[in-house]
Amino acid sequence: MSVEHVSFTYAGAARPALEGLSLTVKQGESVALMGRTGVGKSTLCYALNGLVPQLIPGRWSGQVTVNGHDTTSRPVWQQAGMVGLVFQDFEAQLLSTNVTMELAFPLEHLPQPLSPPAMASRIERALERVGLSGLDRRDPLSLSGGQRQRLVIASTLIREPALVVLDEPMTDLDPEGRRTLASLLASMRAGGTALIVAEHDPEDAVAADRVCVLDHGAVVWDGSPRLLFGDPDIPPWYGIRPLPLVSCFAGLKLPDPPMTVEEAWQVADAHGLMVAPDEAALHQEAVRKDAPVIIDAHKVSYEYQRGSPVVSDLSFAVHEGEFVAIIGLNGSGKSTLAMLLSGLNTPTSGRVLVGGRDTRTLGAGQLATIVGYVFQNPDHQIFAETVGEEVAFGVRNLGFPPEECERRVAEALDAVGLAAPEVRKLDPFSLTKGDRQRVAVASVLAARPRILIFDEPTTGLDAEQTDRMMRMLRRLNQRGHTIVIITHTLSLVAAHAARCAVMRDGRIVADGQTREVFRTLTDPEFAASVGLEAPPLTRFAARWGHTLLTVDEVRAALRKK
C-alpha cells in the first residue's frame, strides 16, 4: 500500500484534512495511526478504500495504490474485497436484522460465489474468531455496543482482504474483547494481511510494527512503538498519553523503559526497588452511605427478548453526591442498567426510584429535571442546526419562559467550557467529537438534573480531550451532581471514581470503594470470573501486597529495598 503526496479538503471546509501526506505499508505489516482528534486519521482511513474522494466530496490530489491499483480507478464496492474498512462509528455499517445475515451479505458479493455449506462454515469461523459464537440468530441491535463492534469487524474480515483498516477498533471493547481482537490481528498479520489501525491508546498500539503520528494532515513521526512510548515526555501536541509505567520509572533515565507489568517487575528487581507506600497518605473518598439515597433499584430485571433477562434480580443504590463507575464485560448489562437508572427503560420486574419517585410514574419532562443521560455516541443525541438551539431545545420543551431558557443555556455552556458567544452559532457537527460530547452534556445540564449518567464518556477522545472531559465531570460532582459512568477504561475509574461496581451476567458481583474493588481484581480467580483485570499500575504494586491506583501513588511508593 502506498500513499503519495495526498491532500484532501472536505467540501465547504476552510482547511485541508490531509496535506501532502505520504506513507507506505508492506505486506503483513501493522501500522498504528495516532494523533489528536481531528488531525486526519479517519480521513486517511477513508482514502485507503476510495471513500475519499469517490463518495465523500472535496478537493483531492495525490495517489493511493493498494496492490498496484489506484483506489480512485475502481468503484468502492469493487475494492471492498481488497481493502476492508471498519468505521469509528461502526454502527453505521450494520444493515441486517440477524447476525448470520450480517455476515452472509459480504459473502454474497464475492467474485466467486460460495456454496451454502462453505458460506455457513466461514460464518461460523468468523463468529468464533471475534468471540461471538452462539449469537448467530440474534438481532444486532439486541447486542451490546462491544458485541456490535466485533460483529462489524467480523463482517469486514470475512472477505479476507489484503489490507484491513480499522478506525479505533478497541473503543467499545472490554479487556477480554481487546485481547481477542489483538490475537486475531496478530494471526492475520502472520498470514500476510497488512493492517492500519487508528488508535488513541498506546497500550493497544504498542503491539504494532510501526507508529505514525499525524498532525495537521501530515505524518510528523514514523517509527518504532517502543521508541515513541518509551519517552515519558511525548510532545503534548501528539495527543498521546505516556504509558503509566514509563512515567513511574522516568526518574531512572532508562534507555528502554518498562511498558508491561512483567518488564516493570524486572526493572524493579534489577535496581533493588520495591513498593512500600505510606498507607496513611493514600487518600480516597469514602463511599457516601451517610447521604440520602437518590437512586434505588430494587430486585430489578429487564428483558429485550422474552425469557432472556439482560439484568436479573438486581438491587443497587446510589447516594446523593456520589461518583460511581460501573464496569464489566460487554453484554454484562451495564448500559441496560444505566438506561433503567435514567428512566429511559422501565424494568420488566422490580422497581427503580429516582429522587424517591418510581420511574414508571414519571413523564419525560419530569425525568429530565431529576436525571440526565448522555449517550456513548453524542451524535445520537444531537440534531439541531446550531449549538445554541441544541442546548435550548430541552428547556424550551419544559415550558420555561425565554429569559429563564437563556439563563440555563448560558449556565450549561459555561459548565462544559463552551461559553464563548461565537460557539452558539456553530453547527454542532462541525465540532470535534470531544466538543460534540460537551454539547450533549450541556443540553442535559440545562434541565438542571440532580443525577448525570454517562455511557462511555471518553470514547474516541484523545488524551487532552479525555482529561478535559473528566475534569468537567469532577467539577460537576463537586457542584453537587451525582455522577454515574459506564466505562471500560479502568485507569479513569482509578483516578476519578470513589466507588466502583462490577457487573457479570446481569448482576452486580462486587461493589464498594474503588481501591477495595481493584484489590479484588488483582485476585486472578475473581478477575477471570468477570473477564477484567486491574490496570497495570495496580497489578505492578500488587506484587508487594499494596493496591495503588495512580502514577503519583506508585512514584511516591517506589523506594530502595
User: Which residues 6+ apart lie within 8 Å of 387 measured at CB?
Assistant: 413, 418, 423, 424, 425, 426, 427, 428, 431, 439
To which H or E segment does residue 340 belong? helix 334-342
* Structural domain includes residue 504: no
What is the residue type of 257? P
Q: 494, 122 in Cβ contact below 8 A?
A: no
Q: 202, 25 in Cβ contact below 8 A?
A: no
Please spell the DSSP secondary structure of 523-536, one letter per residue. SHHHHHHHT----H
What is the residue type of 236? P
> 112: which DSSP letter?
S
Cell of 166: 480499522
Cell of 491: 485507569
CB count in 10 Å sphere of residue 73: 12
* Structural domain includes residue 294: no
**209-247: b or e for each residue (b if 16 or more CB lie within 10 Å)?**
ebbbbbbbbbbebeeebeebbbbbebeeebbbbbbbbbb
Closest to 26 in 3D by CA, of 163, 226, 222, 153: 163
User: Which residues 6+ apart lie within 8 Å of 414 measured at CB?
Assistant: none
How far apart CA 322 and CA 324 sit, in angstroms, is 6
Beta bridge partners of 196: 31, 165
Beta strands at 558-560 and 349-354: parallel, antiparallel or unpaired: unpaired
How far apart CA 561 and CA 547 sit, in angstroms, is 18
Output the pLDDT for position 284: 64
What is the residue type of 53? P
Q: Enumerate the H helices of 116-229 as residue ranges.
A: 116-129, 145-157, 175-190, 202-205, 225-229
Tell me, what CATH number does 109's domain have? 3.40.50.300
Q: Which segments of 261-374 are extended strands (E)?
A: 273-275, 293-305, 308-319, 323-328, 349-354, 357-358, 371-374
How far apart CA 182 and CA 169 sit, in angstroms, is 10
How far apart CA 247 and CA 107 sit, in angstroms, is 47
* Structural domain includes residue 493: no
What is the residue type of 91? E
* Structural domain includes residue 194: yes
Determine the Cα angle at 65 with ends 63 and 68, to 5°. 135
* Structural domain includes residue 50: yes
How far apart CA 550 and CA 561 sit, in angstroms, is 21
Place of cell 442498567: 337
Cis preceding-peptide flag for 175 (omega within 30 of 0): no
* Structural domain includes residue 351: no
Q: 495, 550 in Cβ contact below 8 A?
A: yes
Determine the Cα angle at 346 with ends 340 and 347, to 5°. 85
Output the pLDDT for position 50: 94
Closest to 166 in 3D by CA, of 335, 333, 31, 336: 31
Residue 221 belongs to domain spanning: 2-237
What is the residue type of 316? F
- The whole model's pTM is what? 0.89
Q: What does each of the 561 residues of the chain score in pLDDT, given as a tens digit?
A: 999 999 999 988 889 999 999 999 999 999 999 999 889 999 999 999 999 999 999 999 999 999 999 999 999 988 888 999 999 888 889 999 999 999 999 999 888 889 999 999 999 999 998 989 999 999 998 888 788 988 999 999 999 999 999 999 988 788 888 888 888 889 889 989 999 999 999 999 999 999 999 999 999 999 999 999 999 999 988 999 999 999 999 988 888 899 999 999 999 999 999 999 987 667 666 666 788 999 999 999 999 878 788 999 999 999 999 999 999 998 899 999 999 999 999 999 999 999 999 999 998 888 988 999 998 888 889 999 999 999 999 999 999 999 999 999 999 999 888 888 899 999 998 887 778 888 999 999 999 999 999 998 888 788 888 898 899 899 999 989 999 999 999 999 999 999 999 999 999 999 999 999 999 999 999 999 999 999 999 999 999 999 999 999 999 999 998
What is the residue type of 43? T
Phi, psi of 43 (to 5 degrees): -60, -40
* Structural domain includes residue 448: no
How far apart CA 214 and CA 40 sit, in angstroms, is 7
Please spell the DSSP secondary structure of 36-97, one letter per residue. STTSSHHHHHHHTTTHHHHTS-EEEEEEEEETTEETTSS-HHHHTTTEEEE-SSGGGG---S
Total tally of structural domains belonging to the chain: 1
* Structural domain includes residue 98: yes
How far apart CA 148 and CA 424 sit, in angstroms, is 34
